[in-house]
Amino acid sequence: MSRPLRIQYPGAVYHVTCRGNERKDIFRDDADRERFVSLLEQSAEIYSVTVYAYVLMTNHFHLLVETPLGNLGEFMRRFNISYTGYFNRRHGRVGHLYQGRYTSLLVDKDEYLTTVSRYIHLNPVRTKVWSGKTVEEKASFLDGYQWSSLPGYCEKKKREKFIDYALVLEPYGGDSAGARRRYRDALLGEISSPQELKKQVVGQSILGGDEFVRWVKEKLGDRGADRECPPLRAVVSYNAQDEILAAVASATGKTIGQIKSDRGVVRQIAMELLARVGGLKGKEIGELLGVDYSTVSVGRKRLRDTLASDRAAKRLLERVEGTLSIIKN
């Protein structure tokens, strides 16, 4: 059987899964789970990825994410490498943590977003261990399962700041107490009759209605199903690099030349926005600013550390970003 197409384009939504090598555990305790969630939040911020849902199982995980910049591969590469490095260091091991590459299913955002979120949130009780349990027992377990985005969908006080809840809750009446209750009711209603999403997947890669599937196939053109699909980056227009640099210059009173030669937070902000808003890769940013790729990577990391404690730097970044116009298709 051929490998599923790797379909990437700006604004794409995916159900992502990744399993441990030889089906071994990728989480040994809550410290591992806490680090995983922390790295997920950090990676989502770096690559401007929207996270709608997640769940951590013992030997695998599920994500429901949207990529405004069409960069799922870059996001997952950084995220998986970061967690593998942490896990290997902590547990004194070497080698691969995951079983091959991650699996990504392209999701029709309009028709299947909330359906896939429920499917993900039900995973903790869709194992053999729970096959003989009652609906009430399963519901009770889900209510107490913390390694999932579900608690924030049911109770506002349990929300995580990096999860986007509003869009998933929209079909239930918006982000309100009533919508959260209706979402939970719909979820629990599927415990005894779960959705069989696998049967609705087209070409091992797409979960969506007929119109969405046709749209994707038109974008793919004549590319065969036995080859990976290269990124379809032409679907969206990004901010021009000149506009970003001009915005940084206007907010800081520095010239473009001074921004490029700056070794502090100003150039770091330019690097961050060129990547996150402009859609440029590290190598492209380096060529634009006259530095190498490693300098860009280190600069963006230092900025994240600075923003955690420097309110002035955070306000400056927000002010510059607020003047930019993200153009989406």
Q: pLDDT tens digits, residue range 42-92?
A: 999 989 999 999 999 999 999 999 998 889 998 999 999 999 999 999 999
| Contact by Cβ (8 Å): 67, 8 | yes
Q: How many CB atoms lie within 10 A of CB 29?
A: 10
What's residue 220's pLDDT? 65
Stronger pLDDT, 131 or 72, i.e. the higher one: 72
Put residue 279 in one of left, alpha, beta given phi > 0 → left and psi -120 to 50 → alpha.
left
What's residue 223's pLDDT? 46
Q: Which residues pair with 216 in a beta bridge?
A: none
Scored b (16 or more CB within 10 A) or e, 146-170 reads ebbbbbbbbeeeeeeebbbbebbbe
What's residue 279's pLDDT? 73
Stronger pLDDT, 8 or 193, i.e. the higher one: 8
Confidence of residue 327 (pLDDT cuts 50, 70, 90): very low
Q: Which residues pair with 105 in a beta bridge?
A: 15
The CA distances from residue 296 to 264, 301, 303, in Å, are: 12, 9, 11
Residue 209's φ and ψ, nearest 5 degrees, are: -75, 170
Share of the chain above pLDDT 70, in %: 90
Count of alpha carbons within 13 angstroms of residue 147, beta-carbon side: 20
Confidence of residue 159 (pLDDT cuts 50, 70, 90): very high
What's residue 17's pLDDT? 96
What's residue 2's pLDDT? 44
In the block, tokens 């969405």 appear at 212
| Contact by Cβ (8 Å): 119, 197 | yes
Sign of the torsion angle spanned by Cα atoms 63, 66, 72, 77? negative
Report, as an integer, the average pLDDT of 6-13.
86
Averaged confidence pLDDT in the chain: 86
Question: Each residue of 210-219: pLDDT tens digit?
Answer: 888 888 877 7
What's residue 322's pLDDT? 79
The strand order across the sheet containing 103-107 reads 50-56, 60-67, 12-19, 103-107, 206-207, 201-202
Q: Is the pLDDT of residue 221 over 80?
A: no
What's residue 196's pLDDT? 75
Q: Which two tokens stand for residue 157?
A: 């006080």
Residue 173's φ and ψ, nearest 5 degrees, are: 115, 15
Q: Is the pLDDT of residue 238 over 70?
A: no
Q: Is the pLDDT of residue 229 over 70?
A: no
Question: Each residue of 248-286: pLDDT tens digit?
Answer: 998 999 998 899 999 899 999 999 888 877 778 888 899
CA 236 – CA 151 distance, rounded (Å): 34
Q: Chain centroid to CA 226: how far?
A: 26
Domains (ranges, CATH) in the chain? 12-220 (3.30.70.1290), 241-322 (1.10.1750.10)
Report, as an integer, the average pLDDT of 294-308.
89
Share of the chain above pLDDT 90, in %: 54
What's residue 35's pLDDT? 97
| Contact by Cβ (8 Å): 212, 13 | no
CA 70 – CA 48 distance, rounded (Å): 10
pTM across the whole model: 0.73
Q: Is the pLDDT of residue 231 over 60?
A: no
Confidence of residue 233 (pLDDT cuts 50, 70, 90): very low
Stronger pLDDT, 224 or 53, i.e. the higher one: 53
Q: Is the pLDDT of residue 24 over 90?
A: yes
